[in-house]
Structure formats: C-alpha cells, structure tokens
Amino acid sequence: MGAPGIPPIRLGLIGTGLAVEKLHWPALRQLAERYVVTAFTDPSDEQRRRFTGYSGTDPSSATADRTALLARDDVDAVLISVPIPHLYEVARDALEAGKHVFCEKPAGVDAEQAAAFLALAAAHPDRTFVVGENYFYRDDLRYARALLDDGAIGRVHLVAWRHAVRSVPRAGGFTGTPWRHRPQYRGGVHLDAGVHHIAQIRLLCGEIALVHAAVQTANSTIDAPSDLALNLVFTGGAIGNYTASYVDIPVPPEPNDMRLYGTEGVLVLAGAEPEYRVTRCGPDATTHTTVFRGIDNGYRAELVDFADAVQFGARPVGSVAQSVANALVVQRAFDSAERAAALALDPVPGAGPVPLWRPRGSAGLFDGLPGQRISSSASFAA
C-alpha cells in the first residue's frame, strides 16, 4: 500500500517485450497508486504499438531510444527489460542519469560482469537498484520459509529437487526468443531460467558453501548445455542435490517437486501456476497442505518492495547483492563441471541469508496481497 499524499513513482519502461506484457504490466496495472508509466521505449515499432494497445498508455509517451527516455525529467525510475547481454549497460546508463533502477535478472552474463554489477550498485548508494528476483516474493515460498524459520520440520539435513521439462522454441513464448536459442551468456538456460531455482534454494535452505556439478547437452534447439546435475553443501550443514533438464523431446508427467528433509518432518513444495502446494509431513505421518491459487509468482510484491525502497527508504529484499549470489551459484557450478572438481563458494559482500519479505507495516505474510490459500490435513500412515 502507498501512503496518502505521496505521489506515484513516474516510471519509464526500457523494453516492452514479453516480460513486460506477461509479467510486469499485469502487476503494474494493480499498482496504480504506486506507479504511473510516463515514458517507454523499445527498438521494435511493433512492440511499442502492441504495448500501447494492451496497456492503454498514451502513444506520445514513447521515446526514440533509452537516451531520450533517461533525459526526461518526468521519469523517476526505470524498469529494464532487455536481452540479458544488454542489462548491465542499460542499468549503468540509467543510474548515471540519476534514475532508480528495477532491472530484470540475472545480474551478469558471467562472474566478471556479476562483480561489475556489485561495483555499479556500490557506486550509486543514493539510488535504489534492485534486480527482479521474483521467487523471493512468491507467497508459497515465503510461507514455506516461515515454516522453516519456526522449526516446523526441525533442522533441515537433506534437500532433493529434480526439474525436468520440455523446452523448444514456441512462437509467442519465452522459449521462442531468438537470443535464447544462441545465448551470449555463460550458463544458457540455467542462468536465465534456472537462476530462479537457485533463488528458491537459497531462500529456503540458506547459503551454499560448496558445489560439485556436471553438465551436458541434449537439446538440439539451444546452443548451450541442457542438463545440470548439482550437488550442494550448505553453510548450515545440510547437503542436497538439484538436477535440471531442459530437453527437446516430450517429457512424461513428473512431480518436479522440491523436498526438504528435516529432523522432525519433511516439507514438500509442488505444483505450478495457477496452483502451488506446500505440504508439511510430521513424524506421526500426518500431513498439512496449503494450496495457493491466484498468486502471480511474486511480480506484484517485488514491485511493491521496490516502491517502498524508493518512497520510504525500505531496504529491498531483491538487492543486487542477492541477485549476484544467485547468479554466482550457476557460474561456480559451470566452473565445477569444467574442472571436474568440488569448488567452494565465496560469500558475496552485502548478500548473506535472504531476508523473508513481508508487506511493509505488517506482521503477516499476505496482508493486502491477492490470492487464495486453502489448508487441509491428512495422514499417510499405513
């Protein structure tokens, strides 16, 4: 929620492609009291026309390029949604122009550029600079994190997650984007999509101390490794495995759930949009399941957090440091695969354990947020 008497943030959009259309605009539309789009730019005439069509934004708000947009006095902040190889340079230009920045993930095409993202944030301490790590804000994941914080399954000692999906170019979808077929960023799909999973792992399981990985290529439609098998050792003492496969053949229905084994129970995270499930299994073979419907994968909440940082000085969860920490797990995993060795992860300055986001001024997890939550109990005893 905004505050009476505080005007909305005047927002410029740099890039109006799929991420804006499918992810960010639906959230911005719900936050009219926090944001007003005053300018936008995109190199594609078609994309600009499409954006004005579905958003109702005045076509005169379009600018020729980002230089013209960044020069405008009626732009307080920018939302950057451009191909991954261009994120850093656009964020740099926006910060140097004095704008607050909300940037799509990931923070860097490789480890070197991840370090440059950190340096860029440090050079502009008077600006809010966040990266869109929406998994930090997903209702089901925040609920699971709160359970873990409360000791619902005791000490987590083992994590297991296998994610296997078909990934082929589809017109009108993210997999159809040409720059994703021949990615100019190290890690390919595992940096682009898989970094979300790393965010989930870090949010729920804490910091990662050691990685040991193997990769291979088994998808003819992308010029990058499709498979990643990653063993993990956490600073808190847990161990785990994350396996991701993005293949070009049909994959039979699979649970693709994440399981956290604790000393006093098991937590299972399953499902996908539009229905996520969090199930807590107790030592007496009872289960308590909460179903989440109508949530938006955290896109609304991350924009609320960004607005709170700009308008009220709140410290955002999705900081550049946290995003760099996610990206470096992927980079270190690829280092490990190339060297066929277990490798340590150095702490990222300013990151540390991911904070649990709650709506500003609220003790609850879901106050003022949309969505439906339904709980039930059962038993799996023989």
314 part of a folded domain: no
- The candidate with the shortest Cα–Cα distance to 196, out of 109, 306, 87, 326, is 326
199 part of a folded domain: yes
pTM of the complete model beyond 0.85: yes
Same domain (yes/no): 146, 40: no
- For residues 184 and 174, what is the distance between their CA atoms, to the nearest angstrom? 16
Same domain (yes/no): 88, 176: no
Classify burial at 243, counting beta carbons within 10 Å of its beta carbon; exposed 0-12, middle 13-18, buried 19 or more.
middle
Same domain (yes/no): 149, 244: yes
The pLDDT assigned to 2 comes to 59
The pLDDT assigned to 381 comes to 76
318 part of a folded domain: no
Task: Give the confidence band of 382 by pLDDT, cuts at 50, 70, 90.
Answer: low
Task: Give the confidence band of 89 by pLDDT, cuts at 50, 70, 90.
Answer: very high
Of the candidates 73, 104, 134, which is a domain's last residue? 134
Q: Where are the alpha helices (DSSP H) in the chain?
A: 18-19, 25-29, 45-55, 66-70, 87-96, 111-123, 139-149, 178-181, 189-192, 194-205, 299-312, 320-339
Of the candidates 106, 134, 162, which is a domain's last residue? 134
Same domain (yes/no): 168, 267: yes
Same domain (yes/no): 87, 38: yes
Tokens found for residue 247: 């293949």
218 part of a folded domain: yes
CATH of the domain at 247: 3.30.360.10
Of the candidates 134, 167, 197, which is a domain's last residue? 134
How many domains are contained in the chain?
Answer: 2
2 part of a folded domain: no
- The candidate with the shortest Cα–Cα distance to 79, out of 46, 52, 44, 103, is 103
- Percentage of the chain with pLDDT > 90? 93
The pLDDT assigned to 5 comes to 77
Same domain (yes/no): 28, 116: yes
The pLDDT assigned to 363 comes to 87
Same domain (yes/no): 142, 238: yes
Whether the per-residue pLDDT at 4 is higher than 80: the answer is no
The answer to whether the beta carbons of residues 208 and 330 sit under 8 Å apart is no
311 part of a folded domain: no
The pLDDT assigned to 368 comes to 87
For residue 184, which amino acid is it? Q
pLDDT digits (tens, 9 = 90+) for 341-378: 999 999 999 999 999 999 999 989 999 899 999 999 99
Same domain (yes/no): 117, 188: no
Q: Find the domain containing 28 and state its range.
A: 9-134
Same domain (yes/no): 128, 142: no
Same domain (yes/no): 155, 251: yes
Task: Give the confidence band of 255 by pLDDT, cuts at 50, 70, 90.
Answer: confident
Same domain (yes/no): 126, 162: no
322 part of a folded domain: no
345 part of a folded domain: no
CATH of the domain at 29: 3.40.50.720
Whether the per-residue pLDDT at 238 is higher than 90: the answer is yes
The answer to whether the beta carbons of residues 235 and 208 sit under 8 Å apart is yes
Same domain (yes/no): 202, 64: no
Strands 265-272 and 286-293: unpaired
Quickly count: other Cβ atoms within 10 Å of residue 20's Cβ. 25
pLDDT digits (tens, 9 = 90+) for 293-349: 999 899 999 999 999 999 999 999 999 999 999 999 999 999 999 999 999 999 999
Whether the per-residue pLDDT at 49 is higher than 80: the answer is yes
- The candidate with the shortest Cα–Cα distance to 128, out of 11, 245, 297, 300, is 11
- The candidate with the shortest Cα–Cα distance to 159, out of 74, 250, 257, is 257
